[in-house]
Structure 1
């Protein structure tokens, strides 16, 4: 009998504000430990928090992007627990009334369609500090720079049925967050972290007991951790054991998880309204203004690129991974409007490949959209072939010269004079009489041989289309 997997995800996203959620300390990454703290985020007695309004606006923006309901009145609560990197002894969060409720994301389904993943809520909260366990002396160090950094916790419904679906959902969510500009979502910096709740059950029976996998910070490890946990639970049940509700930590070096603690329930945290923060009230006018300023979302862009520019779904997906990529592509099309597909091919396959090798993002490209358009113009008017254009692009990556200047200085102009090409073809035929006889005797595959020889003799400068045309004529005899 088969097993069904049930997965729900809780994603913590750092909101990219310059200052913390309830004080004016910097949120900059990589500063000296404990250098970005104040009495508020250190939990000193008598210090009052002041809410960061930018964090509120970006949480609302995220809620609107997932088609959620925005609560015009929400509330901050104290989540009480003790841990060395939580100086106040509680975390300011939203429990009873979150800012955002409901919503969904659509992910690709196996059948080629889409599957809708429900989102329960998005609530605001502050981050804890960071505990560092270093050395062999057993001493732990606490860095409170991160304490008080604003977070969104995005809680999904248990709608995913495989590790692949979980990763697909996370990738869609990650792309959306980056597109909206609400977070850099850098997983290595801890700006996008995931907890996965996993259970298994027989189809037609109630959901099983779930275990929580904590603080997963890469798509690859998330997939590994979920698959390990699914297999662990199935083996445990089939051997006569029972899954216990607990929190587990995944070790990426061993590919296994270990028990961390029993899973807490809401009552274990003794939530109560934060007496230092009044209810959060936003007006419908504020929400409408945020909605009006919402950028075009990835799904909308993909669809528009396919219909407006005639791109394949694959190219449209590649070119809408980030807002910067999409804007760069549209700048390229504006400069070379005659052929949007050629723009997509050269940007996705040639330019992005070279940038990846150099470890650069599109914003750091040494070749601007206008300069690449100049190269595409020379392909379009047959000044150079596509093959030579790749060499020109390499030269453009290494200098500030235009395509025209490089073509001129290197003598790369394509030969499109039929008389010159005929002379090259006749010389090749004279040098290869046996192949000419074979082709005329029915060995059609030799045609490719002649194309290669002519292109070689012309040092790649001959117009390929004209070469094919003249070869067909001259090889007839």
Structure 2
């Protein structure tokens, strides 16, 4: 029996990202999520006779932004095509998309994979980015039947088609995280996987290690979380290994992901199915992108998350971990940067935002609910730096400021919250702690220096956190003869 080969996975991802326009790609119907079924529809997106499409200029600008940010080559002239197939959620019987003449080609997504103590950088190439309209949504098993909601039909998408450059489920998940982050920071996609505005199809095959030709590709459709993508690809790789190692043949097909049972399942075969029938869309003129237009869109590009992290490290001096955490959402990043600019001490602001503020932050799409303003956080940090309050009091002050528009300095006056800096009062507190803890004092004099921190803590507790920590330290050392 021949030896079982070592297998290599070959993975390419196709991402559908909804553009954050107010209206659909070819009509004026709104794109807001959650409306009653079939209320955001009109003759154009329903495909009624005589209704003509009109291209949404805002969608074009957003699509071009995505292509520029991802390093694509823009085509001066591109065309829309009719992608013909028949399905209940496609009222026209075709989808307006781009086929052989897309508006952009090439591009790349750079990912970083942590492997032990090292970080491996990988460039995953893109084939193209093109525009297309979304289909509707089929809802099954409602009252024993199926219905269709066409609110989503015609919503503008970019399809980001990746080359088969990924080699593991973990690389695929990281690719999606980086791509989603990029689009969210551009402000053109809300990254909401649960609502279907960022969706992924994965093309998966395996081949013996060292082989250069591709194996038979299986497509996994519309997986709506990074965790599920990683799990589904891993399961599909193992399924294909089992098929080949038992003498079977992998069939080219489309499969779905069953999260409950942890398996992929066949949706439809592609072995003998003809490809979609495309022909040029006769109701739309070619899309022309001249240099002046491209320059205008390029000038509107924002800083990428990676560029922002690098600037936070080089200019603001925060740690790599803090830079990663504080750029998880564009609103959080701008909040931190504003507070750091006002306070003038970015590392301390970064620590405070991470330890206190982020616990109370909720995000949805491009929006973030933050219970204080950047000016309030900067005010708290300024009070600590000036010695008016201690670090412990800063946390208490933040808790009182949440959900208010009050000035931090006015709030400490209202609460009577000031840091004790009177040497005499601090000496009295330290002397009492020393007298009350003879065992710990004896231990310190025997060389157990770790017990000194206990006395500091007891002094801070006795003063309800209001004593100046630096004065407490120096006073205790002097009284214990440690200086």
- Using the size of structure 1 for normalisation, the TM-score is 0.95
Change in CA separation of 1:345 and 1:213 when aligned onto 2, cut-off 3 Å: same
Measure how far apart 1:166 and its partner are.
Answer: 0.7
The alpha carbon displacement at 1:77 in A equals 1.1
Q: Show the 5 A alignment for 1:340-419.
A: 340-356=346-362, 363-419=368-424
8 Å Cα contact 1:93-1:125 kept in structure 2 = yes
170-179 or 39-48: bigger deviation = 39-48
Matches within 5 A, 1:42-53: 42-53=46-57
Q: Structure 1 residue aligned with 2:161, among 155, 158, 170?
A: 155
1:408 deviation in Å? 2.4
Counterpart pick for 1:180 among 175, 181, 186: 186
Who is 2:111 aligned against? 107
CA change 1:232–1:109 in 2 (3 A) is same
Write the distance in 1 (CA, Å) between the matches of 2:199 and 2:430.
Answer: 63
Distance 1:359 1:53, change over 3 A: closer
What does residue 118 of structure 1 align with? Answer: 125
Q: How does 1:74-93 map to 2 (within 5 A)?
A: 74-93=78-97
Deviations 1:325-368, CA, capped at 9 Å, x for gaps: 2222221122111x111111112221112225x99997432311
Aligned CA distance change for structure 1 residues 451 and 226 (closer, same or farther; 3 Å) = same
Aligned-pair CA distance for 1:402: 2.6
Judged with a 3 Å threshold, the aligned counterparts in structure 2 of structure 1 residues 280 and 360 are, in CA distance, closer, same or farther, namely closer
Q: Match for 2:150 among 135, 144, 166?
A: 144
Is 1:260 the equivalent of 2:246?
no
Structure 1 match to 2:98: 94
Alignment correspondent of 1:456: 461
After superposition, the C-alpha distances for 1:380-421 in whole angstroms (9 at most, x for unaligned) are 011111122111111111543332233223333111222221
The 10-residue stretch of structure 1 (435-444 or 151-160) with the greater mean CA deviation from structure 2:
435-444
Aligned to 2:323: 316
Relative distance call for 1:434 and 1:129 in structure 2 (3 A) is: closer
Aligned partners of 1:302 and 1:317 also within 8 Å: yes
**Structure 1: gaps spanning 5 or more residues:** none
For 1:83 and 1:237, the matched residues in 2 are separated by 33
Give 2:34's aligned residue: 30
Q: Unpaired runs of 5+ in structure 2?
A: none
Shift of 1:2: 2.5
Structure 2 CA distance for partners of 1:435 and 1:362, relative to 1, 3 Å: farther
RMSD between aligned residues: 1.9
Distance 1:420 1:39 in 2: 80
1:270 aligns with 2:286: no
- Displacement after TM superposition at 1:23 (Å): 1.4
Render the CA deviation track for 1:57-86: whole Å, top value 9, x for unaligned.
Answer: 111111000111001101111111110111
Q: Which of 226-235 and 104-113 deviates more?
A: 104-113
In the superposition, relative to structure 1, how do residues 28 and 333 fare at CA in structure 2: closer, same or farther (>3 Å)?
Answer: same
1:422 to partner: Cα distance: 1.3
- Aligned 8 A contact 1:212 1:263 in 2: no
**Counterpart position of 2:233:** 226
The answer to whether 1:203 aligns with 2:197 is no
How many angstroms does 1:284 deviate by?
1.4
Deviation at 1:281, TM superposition (A): 1.3
What is the alpha-carbon distance in structure 1 between the residues aligned to residue 368 and residue 90 of structure 2?
A: 38
2:286 pairs with one of 259, 279, 284: 279
Q: Note closer, same or farther for the CA distance 1:140–1:422 as it changes in structure 2 (3 Å cut).
A: same
Aligned length: 474
The alignment partner of 2:182 has SS state of helix
Query: TM-score, normalised to structure 2's length?
Result: 0.94
**Contact preservation (8 Å) 1:14, 1:191:** yes
1:212: how far off?
A: 0.5
Which residue of the partner structure matches residue 175 of structure 2? 169
Shift of 1:127: 0.8
2:254 is the alignment partner of 1:250: no
Query: Is the 1:366–1:397 contact (alpha carbons within 8 Å) kept by the matching residues of 2?
Result: yes
Q: C-alpha displacement at 1:256, in angstroms? A: 1.3
Compared with structure 1, are the counterparts of its residues 378 and 428 closer, same or farther at alpha carbon in structure 2 (3 Å cutoff)?
Answer: same
